[in-house]
Structure 1
Amino acid sequence: MLHKLKLLFVGTNVKRQQNYSNLQERTPIAAVAAPKQSLALLDAVALIVGIVIGAGIFQTPAFVAANAGSDINVLLLWLLGGVVSLVGALCYAELATTYPDVGGTYYYLKRAFGRSVAFLFAWARMTVIQTGSIVLLAFVFGDYFSGLWLLGPYSSSIYAAIAIILLTGLNILGLYPGKWTQNWLTAAKILGLLLVVMIGVAANNPTTLPTPTTSTTPTNWGLAMVFVLLSFGGWNEAAYISAEIKNRRRNMVRSLVWSIGIITTIYLLINLAYLRGLGLAGMAKSEAVAASLMDRTVGTSGALFLSILVAICTLGAINATILTGARSNYALGQDFAMFSFMGGWQQQKETPTQALIMQGAIALSLVFLGTITRNGFETMVEYTAPVFWFFFLLSAISLFVLRQRDAQINRPFQVPFYPWIPLLFCIICGYLLYSSLAYTGIGAIAGVLVVGAGIPLLLWNNYRQRSLRE
């Protein structure tokens, strides 16, 4: 009996030492149940397009038009947004194909800057970046769906919570239900947006078909690009499916290029429709540019169609963000013992169940925060933007660090015109970081404070590791 107890004690101690060990790679035990390559190229494209095309394209074009100065500038700005996104995607394509890992950016930062920086990123992603993005989209869904069926004074928040619960539950059921739902939602949103394009382009009212015009307000390309790139945000989530995509060396690059090409084309067409249906001045003055277009060209029935389309777009973006967000939580649970409850992978369902549950719980708490501030969408934008662009800048810098540190490693894809393209990406991220701090308020402070709260957790984890070694 004593011998058995001794063996049990030794085995438990070894397991604890293994959990707390300061390794750069995950333990072999964790590899028993791990992600496998289950996503095809079409699945990856649907995820990326689904994340990027959310609610932004229904709101930001008015801000872009107000700062563009002319019709041509509007289209050039959206084209430039696609080019900028492609620059960043080329950098991520090298990282994702060289270091395919379910942790995505978390893993790149860990290799480049160490476990402490990676921990703070994963903490920020879990509590601010990803969950904040989920809630931001959920509030937009709630706002528009409340126009179809109002549930009282807190209707938007109720719908936001319902969307998060249902889509989190769907992904807990497994990867296949999540990815097929995503594929259908993405297909529906593309068809819906193309219909809006056709309605706008086919508008034949002489008062809504102005010749190319210029604005009397000063041109501000910098501010306009802030809103353009906000609408292009999310393509970087491809990094979190790099370990699960089939034929990753080829399909990772192809999925990014195809996705950004599709997104840029749709954005150019939809803005062409806005310009043709409303004109530059009409776009700039509209508080809901898509609704204004549909109301002018179709009538009141257009508002119903638009509400349904926005709901589909936001649901697709929420589902994709939930799916990819849980992957970095899983990676955090694999590396740090205090979050080990998130490090389990359900092999049969091909999904990190505990990581999804944790993400959903945090997102629901942020719904409550947005409810009490009475301004859910704006609060979430301020809450997430500065933290997102700070770590996005670090991920760009990590490419330079890893090129030097891992000079001998095989790189299936290399960024063309290195180091100029990655350097341009760093400059863009730095500018957006500055802009996000300059144009946000109390929400940004809250986001930074939440990230700072991860520092004591990191110190406590390091202290426990040292204690176990002694």
Structure 2
Amino acid sequence: MNRTDIPALDAPPAEGPHPTLGARHVAAIVVGIVIGAGIFRTPSLVAGVAGSEEAFLVAWLAGGILSIIGALCYAELAAAFPSAGGDYHFLSRAFGRRLGFLYAWARLSVIQTGSLTLLAFLFGDYASELLPLGPQGPAIYAAAAVIALTAINWIHVRQGTGSQLWLTVVEVLGLLTLIAAGFLIAPTPSGAAAPPAESSVGLMMVFVLLTYGGWSEGAYMSAELRGGRRRIATVLVASLGLVTLLYLLVNFAYIRALGLGGIAGTDVVAADLAERAAGSGGAVLISFLVAVSALTSANGTSITGARTTYALGSSFAQLGWLGRWSPGGHTPRNALLVQGAIALLLIGAGAFARDGFRMAVEYTAPVFWLFLLLVGISLFVLRRREPEAERPFRVPLYPVLPIIFCLTSAYLLYSSIAYTGTSALVGVAVLAVGALLLLFLRPSDQETRS
């Protein structure tokens, strides 16, 4: 690969991302995306294969530690090469813009827009519980959420990140309320519900790390964080430290209130806890809490997803209209509109699907973990290729921690393929379409600074 195929980054362009955000805004994006609806559902799946309460809690602690290790690896990349393109920029710099294009294509067409759609539908499901709108109510709420979030982020970056900050505050307060309920009510008597006999460490970690997913999105804000090159590591690690603490506390509350067998035996563990604490009113509380959590994650996903598309447009002349940055709004407006339009199309299709949520999760997982593994490898590549690059932060215990991150990603890639089967072929088909598009697209001769 020629050096000319490596995007340069020395300073932001005149009309591009500028450091306009504080640490609290980026932390709100990370925390808000990670604490999605998963923490209200996956504990039941983890408990079903945990074998013991101790193993159950250790799995959540291990998930936090592994996520923090990954965040340290991302922090080095983001500090050395801050960019609105995040993973796209790292992969392009290490392996060339053609591989970067495949990632950006998968992210635009499946990973990010699919996640936005799923979160919007989740919001719609629970909003319909609070205020029903008929059979198509969830789809109506989902479409309204995508339109509203796209509009808010289109106006100005501060509107989008300001909304994220307050949504995250409400989300965290709601989770703390659930934790308090678990600690205040009478504990489940020992032996009230027998714990499952089966134990599978690997399957436990698949579910746990899925619930911790989304922390890497903070890298997409590195070019817009004031003092980002030196502060990004602190923001990422502190955000995940908070998430890990909250996850441990809420799962301990689940254990105390329901027991391991009780958690494993329900699909609505948070609702069961809330019902024990507040009766039928608990269901209303949980519906509101999950709706807010889904909306918070969707907003963060909208913010970071559009930045990959912007970086893609900056690198390919034929897609240059996607790479336009609004100086007035400090945001990639065209990229936001395209992302919102694709999400609305997916919502329209999902309104008639039987189990679109599960299918989308299955076919996005292998693609996601493949590229996350490649990002981990890019850390080694860029250390060797660009040793002179300024690195305000270096991952400690190199190369041990990056190796752990790569091995974890490789295992999750294997597990996602093993558990999804033929559904994984859909993600491969999407990548194949992107490869075909590369026959007609050429990277810009001018090196990108996005």
Shared fold per TM-score greater than 0.5: yes
Q: Per-residue CA shift, 1:101-150, capped at 9, x if unaligned?
A: 11111111111101110110111111111111111211211111111122
Matched, 1:356 2:331: no
Matched, 1:41 2:18: no
**Structure 2 counterpart of 1:406:** 386
Aligned-residue offset at 1:442: 5.0
Aligned-residue offset at 1:383: 2.7
Instruction: State the TM-score, normalized to the length of structure 1.
Output: 0.90
Matched, 1:76 2:64: no
1:420 partner letter: V
User: Contact conserved, 2:7 with 2:92, CA < 8 A, in 1?
Assistant: no
Aligned-residue offset at 1:26: 7.0
Task: Name which of 358, 367, 376 aligns with 1:396.
Answer: 376
Moved more, 80-89 or 214-223: 214-223
Which portions of structure 1, spanning 4 or more consecutive aligned residues, are displaced by more than 6 angstroms?
A: 26-30, 211-214
Matched, 1:425 2:405: yes
**Structure 2 counterpart of 1:194:** 176
Over the aligned positions, Cα root-mean-square deviation in angstroms equals 2.0
Matched, 1:105 2:87: yes
Q: Per-residue CA shift, 1:75-124, capped at 9, x if unaligned?
A: 11100000000110110010000001111111111111011101101111
Aligned-residue offset at 1:70: 1.1
Q: How many angstroms apart in 2 are the aligned matches of 1:409 and 1:57?
A: 39
**Structure 2 counterpart of 1:16:** none
User: Contact conserved, 2:317 with 2:443, CA < 8 A, in 1?
Assistant: no
Moved more, 331-340 or 88-97: 331-340
Q: Per-residue CA shift, 1:386-421, capped at 9, x if unaligned?
A: 110010010000001111101122211111111111
User: Contact conserved, 2:395 with 2:401, CA < 8 A, in 1?
Assistant: yes
Task: Name which of 144, 162, 165 aligns with 1:180.
Answer: 162
**Structure 2 counterpart of 1:11:** none
Q: How many angstroms apart in 2 are the aligned matches of 1:198 and 1:219?
A: 29
Larger Rg: 1
Matched, 1:274 2:250: no
Pairing of 1:37-436 with structure 2 (within 5 A): 37-204=19-186, 208-210=188-190, 215-436=195-416
Q: Per-residue CA shift, 1:425-460, capped at 9, x if unaligned?
A: 111001111111111255432222122101111111
Structure 1 46/463 Cα, relative in aligned 2: closer, same or farther at 3 Å?
closer
1:200 partner letter: G
More helix by share: 1
User: Contact conserved, 1:128 with 1:451, CA < 8 A, in 2?
Assistant: no
Q: How many angstroms apart in 1 are the aligned matches of 2:345 and 2:359?
A: 14
1:63 partner letter: L
Q: How many angstroms apart in 1 are the aligned matches of 2:278 and 2:109?
A: 42
Aligned length: 442
Look up the SS of the partner of 1:79 in the other structure. helix
| Gap regions ≥5 residues in structure 1 | 1-21, 466-470
Calculate percent identity across the aligned residue pairs: 49
Look up the SS of the partner of 2:420 in the other structure. coil
Aligned-residue offset at 1:370: 2.4
**Structure 2 counterpart of 1:4:** none
Q: Per-residue CA shift, 1:249-301, capped at 9, x if unaligned?
A: 33201101110110001101110111111111100000111111112221110
Look up the SS of the partner of 1:459 in the other structure. coil
